[in-house]
Structure 1
Amino acid sequence: MASLILVVEDDPAMLAGLCDNLDIEGYRFHAAGDGKTARALFESEIPDLVILDRMLPDVDGAALCREFRRKSESLPIIMLTARGEEMDRVLGFEMGADDYVVKPFSILELLARVRVHLKHRALGRPGDVTTQRVGAAEVDFGTHRVLREGVPLDISAKELDLLRYLVERRGQVVSRDRLLSDVWGYRSDVSTRTVDTFVARLRKKIEADPSHPAVLLTIHGLGYKIVSDI
């Protein structure tokens, strides 16, 4: 069955355009022009991906993003916004967004990001990777589960993508630009604060003391690495 995408956008013309393009690409979709409708559609059938406008008439998009994230840890969420400031991006990521697209945007670029996120989610389904220890956590990339002292932790799809990428390159230093390109599919001119925000979120899950990381290290001037003896 084709992937289901929930599109939440209060501009009727943009909403129609997004849905038309998703239809052409062969996706199923649900369309919502406000938060109330989006919540009802989400409850009726949990989508495979959400495209979510940051500014809605009845609810803050970031708050709605946080609600969706609580209900589905692995759900990819792409946030749309007319705001380009870095701190607004950081807020979206902190609320659980996996990606951030600033209006006006290229529909081809957005569709490419949709494909990448859906592919990554499919690769994370049960049976493909065994559980392994990463710092203070037990991570099963196949079932999208992270346990710490036996307690399940919330982790977004993009956080898991980043952790998987670094674990697969354990002992190697990976630059922020490379992470943006390979994990997010961003161009080199996109702010690197994105990576820093996600690294901070991961450290809270895998480090015994996130303020003094011993597993996910910053190599100043170069990037990040997961230590090899994990």
Structure 2
Amino acid sequence: MGVLEAFDTITEPHAARILVVDDEPAMQRMIVTYLNEQNMRASAVSGRKGLLHTLAVREPDLILLDLHLGEDDGLDLLRELRGKSIVPVILITGHRRDEIDRVVGLELGADDYITKPFGMRELLARIRATLRRRTMDSLTPARRSEHRYGFDGWLFDQRARQLTSPAGDAVALTKGEFALLSAFVAAPRRTLSREHLLQATRLHEDVFDRSIDVQILRLRRKLEDDPRAPRFIRTQRGAGYIFDVDVQIG
């Protein structure tokens, strides 16, 4: 369960730190060796204990997480991780038919996935693309003007990308849910059309989030005591949706 340290290679001063969470030694060595050859700083752990230890010492720039670990369930580990950190995560899935696991993983906050068997060049491209998106997000004016919002005991910290329930529990949000809630808290008690929400969240760019109504349903399940009788996100028939609660900006 210990850390498989990265091989001693000379890397760039600002080389991305990549943590591989996989319980197959051969896969660990192959990925770590290749990424280090590409001027990254890679290391590997085999499960939950190693991952949590690494996060406590220093958070990596990106995590590669195998969903099919021996002793630990990958989705449970991702759920726990998202309660502690917003570090980018790319899932490694074992079979192309594991579509449900991939979708659930994305809903839990994973940034991307790659399916075995995969080529190292594709993996590298996905890592670079994920890191690039995260960097660009942090530089946009919208990110610089992010706030902490409070409503009915809930706390929504945009900069930390965290939603906390009135009981103090961290609630994981997908990228689509985060963008949707951001649109709502910015315009409380105002009716927002589906077209406005689609434009504000840019869900049409995500193959897994084409329907704003599906995103509304998922967000209701996380916010509402009874999603069938919502009191926060109410439907305005023929007009759109309204976030019907007072919102405080902290």
The TM-score range, normalised by the shorter chain, is 0.5 to 0.7
Please say which structure displays the higher CA radius of gyration.
2
- 1: CA distance, partners of 2:167 / 2:49: 36
Compute the displacement of 1:196 (Å).
7.8
Which residue of 58, 79, 86 corresponds with 2:91? 79
- Note the alpha carbon deviations across 1:175-197, whole angstroms, 9 max, x for none: 9xx62635xxxxx5xx5599887
TM-score by length of 1: 0.64
Matches within 5 A, 1:118-133: 118-119=134-135, 122=138, 128-132=145-149
Matches within 5 A, 1:59-138: 59-72=72-85, 74-83=86-95, 84-93=97-106, 97-105=110-118, 106-116=122-132, 118-119=134-135, 122=138, 128-132=145-149, 137-138=154-155
Matches within 5 A, 1:75-224: 75-83=87-95, 84-93=97-106, 97-105=110-118, 106-116=122-132, 118-119=134-135, 122=138, 128-132=145-149, 137-147=154-164, 151=168, 153-156=170-173, 158=175, 161-163=178-180, 171=193, 172-174=196-198, 179=203, 181-182=205-206, 188=207, 199-207=216-224, 209-213=226-230, 215=233
Which residue of 52, 57, 63 corresponds with 1:44? 57
Q: CA RMSD in A?
A: 4.5
- 1: CA distance, partners of 2:15 / 2:159: 21
Alpha-carbon spacing, 1:195–1:30, altered in 2? closer, same or farther (3 Å): farther
Compute the displacement of 1:78 (Å).
2.0
- 2: CA distance, partners of 1:149 / 1:141: 17
- 1: CA distance, partners of 2:172 / 2:37: 32
TM-score by length of 2: 0.60
Alpha-carbon spacing, 1:65–1:12, altered in 2? closer, same or farther (3 Å): same
Asked if the contact 1:135–1:207 (Cα under 8 Å) also holds between the matched residues in 2, the reply is no
Alpha-carbon spacing, 1:147–1:13, altered in 2? closer, same or farther (3 Å): closer
Identify unmatched segments of 5+ residues in structure 1. Answer: 183-187, 220-224
Asked if the contact 2:137–2:143 (Cα under 8 Å) also holds between the matched residues in 1, the reply is no
Identity %: 29
Partner of 1:30: 43
- 2: CA distance, partners of 1:17 / 1:203: 42
SS at match of 1:110: helix
- 2: CA distance, partners of 1:156 / 1:78: 16
- 1: CA distance, partners of 2:49 / 2:166: 37
Asked if the contact 2:66–2:74 (Cα under 8 Å) also holds between the matched residues in 1, the reply is yes
Compute the displacement of 1:50 (Å).
1.5
Partner of 2:3: none
- Note the alpha carbon deviations across 1:101-157, whole angstroms, 9 max, x for none: 322343254224422453267459985313456898553312434355595643346
- 1: CA distance, partners of 2:236 / 2:124: 34
